[in-house]
Structure 1
Amino acid sequence: MKPQAPNRRPPRAGDASRPRVPHRSPTLPPLPAGSLGEALLVASDGLAAVLKGYALNDGLLGLWKTWPDLTPATRGAVQDLLYGTLRDYGRGQHILAGLLSKPLEELRIEALLLIALHRLEARPETAHTVVDQAVEAAARLAEGRLKALVNGVLRNALRQWDALMRDAANAPVARWRHPQWWISALRRHYPDTWESVLEGNNMHPPMSLRINPRRSDAEAYRHALHDEGMAFTELGPLALQLTQPRPVASLPGFAAGEVSVQDWGAQQAAALLDLHDGQRVLDACAAPGGKTAHLLESADLELLALELEPQRTQRIRDTLERLGLAAEIRTADCRAIGSWWDGKAFDRILADVPCSATGVARRHPDIKWLRREEDIAAFATVQAEILEALWQVLAPGGKMLYLTCSVFPEENGRQLARFAARHKDCRRTRFPDGSLEKQWLPSALHDGFYFALLEKTP
């Protein structure tokens, strides 16, 4: 399920309504197009938006509107800087605090310093250029008042780098690059593996592909990747993982619908739902449409896809159109069954419910810093409401796959246990390997997901 945030971080005082406009100095020319300084300047706007409490995806959309003339290479550099800085934010924040005598009042300068510190760690051989370009970017911020401060902080960081890193290694939030509540929860729920879960969340995510058997076949597509020099490993009959992630547009046959990008964990849903031709299927929280498409690729189905937000509903349509697939798509709250249900029960339901997205934080690193501990209970409440509504439209003998991209039991096993206790016609169905539930934790192969299959007994 896509990440959602019922409770975002409150915007900082004085920043929430500040217009996001390109920085222009009355005395300095714009930074050269394509320069590192330009990328640092733009990325500082994006990070400042996240620090105010806005989701990274929203921040990026705002950046591209604010800076419409950026080259594709600069856009890519900005994204790399933002994702890397947010993955390492716990450490960067700790290091920056040690370099400042008092907190900064100018949020964009704070963001610029965090991004520059990340770049210094990632590319130490370019330290001189990073400092120089960060100072040039600072000259276009805060009327240039803090240019000297940025120069001093970064040069001081270089002089003390080893000591700063040793100190960060002894501070849990800095070492694990997660908020303390998240670390504590994982230690409580996974006492033997909590460290590997945190490490998995800090990895760069793998790029896995799903071949569309209605447009291509596995052997032909493997040959196409070989011809393009794209190395891969096979995960399943129609699933591959690229050794090196590539831009989606460069994938052979992507525009023609021969392949989709989908995490290996997410690809499990279609197989676990026990699909057969002719079934009536509901995908209750369907955007952006990857799992919807996989269901349709797996069997000939009568499928209804629901999504709450109109903009996200359009993404489902776009996905299915590219892949040559068809379904009924409606914008609706799946909990309000009176607004969309025609009274005919479904044989299968995919309940890919809103969740904390704590299993996909490496793809959405802002989640680590926007999510709050109390959000888990809020998501659990919404999930329970969705389960109650969808159970009413499931046919006797039908099956519902409950799915989250969370690693926390309150949203997963405990949620299902409470639901089964309330419904005597609910039977937990075992998967082919004999398990009643699957909790996949983030790893080099896949993101974190939870799966459980419920059958409605006659």
Structure 2
Amino acid sequence: MSNGAAPRVTATRVLDAVLHRGRSLKAELAAQLPALGDPRDRALAEAICFAALRQPARLEAALKAWVPRPLGRRDDELRALLYAGFVQLDPLALPAHAALAATVDAARALGRAHQAGMVNALLRRAQREGLPSVDAAAHWPHWLRTRLQQDWPLEHAGILAASAQPPPLWLRVNRLQQSRDAYRQRLLEAGIESHLDENAADALRVEGSVAMAQLPGFAEGAVSVQDVSAQRVADALALQSGARVLDACAAPGGKSAHLLERDPALRLTALDVDGKRLDRVRGTFARLQLGANARLLACDATRLESWWDGTPLDAVLIDAPCSATGIVRRQPDVLLHRRESDLAPLLATQARLLDALWTTLAPGGVLLYATCSVLKAENEGQVAAFLARTADARADMLDDSFGRISGAGRQRLPGENGADGFYYARLRRSA
């Protein structure tokens, strides 16, 4: 296999698994990228996968227009390879000759030498004619597009467009190690330009792609990769020093880590129902040199007897399981895997978390309900129903830096100020 073919083969295998076997993009990349020894190859394979999954309807339109006979299930891998080839030309705009040659070599490496001529012809046609244009809505399932239009009649087109664009790289500077300004200078010295966010005290935005290994001090815990919307959770909670805090759905650990960077004296309990995902929290804490006194438990947060000692908490964070419709630009396979039937169980889980964990709060304590969704049923509707059935709960309205008013909370839509779609509702228990 030629050197250039290797990342195309990996990208094809990842795309095949995600498109045709319902696998998670994140999980497939984690499993397959390490086999590529060169970090540039890993970056290329990842870029190809994201580019293809952000516009599958456009790529399929090209195949339908140019392939006389529809590809069958036996040609799923070929479809994935052609998707990988198309996106190298548009939108990645790689040098066409090298992209075509390496993709044809990848066809041979995948045992499809008999189809190498077809791959070459189709990619040359894409080079000559360009890929067909399709509306951004075409990539979204009809049921989800309909809900989006109902919830956001004026904004839905912007949500669709923003969700199809690559996001910026947001960094969270570990203030226990250095100031944001000091780390920004380290980035400049490494040839990486960054921009401040006036509303997020620890955030820096980097345009373009930068591998984590290129970030100064990453391995030593100087900085983390975290979208600015997620960083604002710490601001929305506004904890007192040394507070007793629960992070009920903690994995992969970025929000818990940020709280500890703000105040290492926090008495933090971090839970996750998935023990393997909780291992990622431990890894995050270890890299950042945090959490020596934090409790990490693999359990269902609603089963209070498995983790709560009965001492009332000052604050609870519920970063709730949700449709992830606010982070499609980061997880484009959401649009492939999410089903309308998923929504009712998600809504039930969110309500169960709210009801159970509210009882652990001290009078005057705060619960922050957050999601990375833009669906009102999961956000303002969920919170309104909770407030209606909970006599001792009231909302503390957050300021407009958290987004637009949406019921008792605030909604950030995808792409606004370069941020992910996110919802925040700050609820206080009556004294």
One fold, TM greater than 0.5?
A: yes
Q: Unaligned stretches of 5+ in structure 1?
A: 1-30
Q: Is the 8 A contact 2:395 2:428 kept in 1?
A: yes
77, 93, 96: which one aligns with 1:127: 96
**Which one scores higher on RCO, CA 8 angstroms, separation ≥ 6?**
1
- Match for residue 143 of structure 2? 181
Q: 1:424 to 1:124 in 2, by over 3 A?
A: closer
Is residue 203 of structure 1 aligned with residue 171 of structure 2?
no
Structure 2 Cα separation of the partners of residues 123 and 295 of structure 1: 37
Structure 1 Cα separation of the partners of residues 85 and 107 of structure 2: 11
Q: Unaligned stretches of 5+ in structure 2?
A: none
369, 375, 378: which one aligns with 1:402: 369
- Match for residue 258 of structure 1? 222
Structure 1 Cα separation of the partners of residues 258 and 208 of structure 2: 24
- Match for residue 8 of structure 2? 40
Is residue 452 of structure 1 aligned with residue 417 of structure 2?
no
Q: SS of 1:427's equivalent?
A: strand
- The one-letter amino acid of 1:425's match is D
Q: Is the 8 A contact 2:136 2:161 kept in 1?
A: no
Which structure 1 residue ranges, 4+ long, deviate > 4 Å from structure 2? 171-174, 432-435
Q: 1:354 to 1:156 in 2, by over 3 A?
A: same
220, 224, 227: which one aligns with 2:182: 220
Displacement of 1:123 in angstroms is: 5.2
378, 390, 414: which one aligns with 1:442: 414
Structure 2 Cα separation of the partners of residues 320 and 223 of structure 1: 25
Q: Is the 8 A contact 2:372 2:422 kept in 1?
A: yes
Is residue 276 of structure 1 aligned with residue 243 of structure 2?
no
- Give the number of equivalent residue pairs: 417
Q: SS of 1:122's equivalent?
A: coil
Structure 1 Cα separation of the partners of residues 38 and 223 of structure 2: 27
- Match for residue 22 of structure 2? 53
Is residue 302 of structure 1 aligned with residue 267 of structure 2?
yes
Q: 1:226 to 1:143 in 2, by over 3 A?
A: closer
Alignment of 1:336-355 (within 5 A): 336-355=303-322
- Match for residue 13 of structure 1? none
Structure 2 Cα separation of the partners of residues 226 and 209 of structure 1: 14
Displacement of 1:100 in angstroms is: 2.2
Q: SS of 2:95's equivalent?
A: helix
> % of aligned pairs identical?
38
Displacement of 1:241 in angstroms is: 1.3
Structure 1 Cα separation of the partners of residues 180 and 16 of structure 2: 44
Structure 2 Cα separation of the partners of residues 338 and 172 of structure 1: 47
- Match for residue 16 of structure 1? none
Displacement of 1:322 in angstroms is: 2.2
- Match for residue 317 of structure 1? 282
Give the TM-score, by structure 2 length: 0.90
Q: SS of 1:240's equivalent?
A: strand
Q: Is the 8 A contact 1:377 1:410 kept in 2?
A: no
Structure 2 Cα separation of the partners of residues 58 and 383 of structure 1: 24
Displacement of 1:437 in angstroms is: 1.0
Q: Is the 8 A contact 1:40 1:112 kept in 2?
A: yes
- Match for residue 329 of structure 1? 296
Structure 2 Cα separation of the partners of residues 307 and 204 of structure 1: 29
Q: Is the 8 A contact 1:257 1:324 kept in 2?
A: yes
Structure 2 Cα separation of the partners of residues 128 and 229 of structure 1: 30
- CA distances 1:384-437 after superposition (whole Å, capped 9, x unpaired): 111122112122221100000000001100011111111111112222459631
Q: 1:157 to 1:233 in 2, by over 3 A?
A: closer
- CA distances 1:90-112 after superposition (whole Å, capped 9, x unpaired): 21122212222333122101111
- The one-letter amino acid of 2:270's match is A
Is residue 194 of structure 1 aligned with residue 161 of structure 2?
no
- CA distances 1:19-52 after superposition (whole Å, capped 9, x unpaired): xxxxxxxxxxxx11x21x2222221111000011
Structure 2 Cα separation of the partners of residues 240 and 210 of structure 1: 7
Structure 1 Cα separation of the partners of residues 258 and 328 of structure 2: 23
Displacement of 1:143 in angstroms is: 5.0
- The one-letter amino acid of 2:103's match is A
- Match for residue 256 of structure 2? 292
Q: Is the 8 A contact 1:211 1:218 kept in 2?
A: yes
313, 325, 348: which one aligns with 1:381: 348
Structure 2 Cα separation of the partners of residues 146 and 308 of structure 1: 46
Is residue 235 of structure 1 aligned with residue 197 of structure 2?
yes
Once the two structures are overlaid, the 10-residue window that deviates more, 254-263 or 122-131, is 122-131
Is residue 118 of structure 1 aligned with residue 87 of structure 2?
yes
- CA distances 1:284-336 after superposition (whole Å, capped 9, x unpaired): 00111111011122233111000111222121112222222221111111122
- The one-letter amino acid of 2:205's match is Q
- Match for residue 22 of structure 1? none
- CA distances 1:253-293 after superposition (whole Å, capped 9, x unpaired): 32232222211111111111120012110000011111101
- The one-letter amino acid of 1:211's match is V
42, 46, 64: which one aligns with 1:97: 64
Displacement of 1:142 in angstroms is: 5.1
Q: Is the 8 A contact 1:376 1:410 kept in 2?
A: no
Once the two structures are overlaid, the 10-residue window that deviates more, 99-108 or 78-87, is 99-108
CA RMSD of aligned residues (A): 2.2
Alignment of 1:357-376 (within 5 A): 357-376=324-343
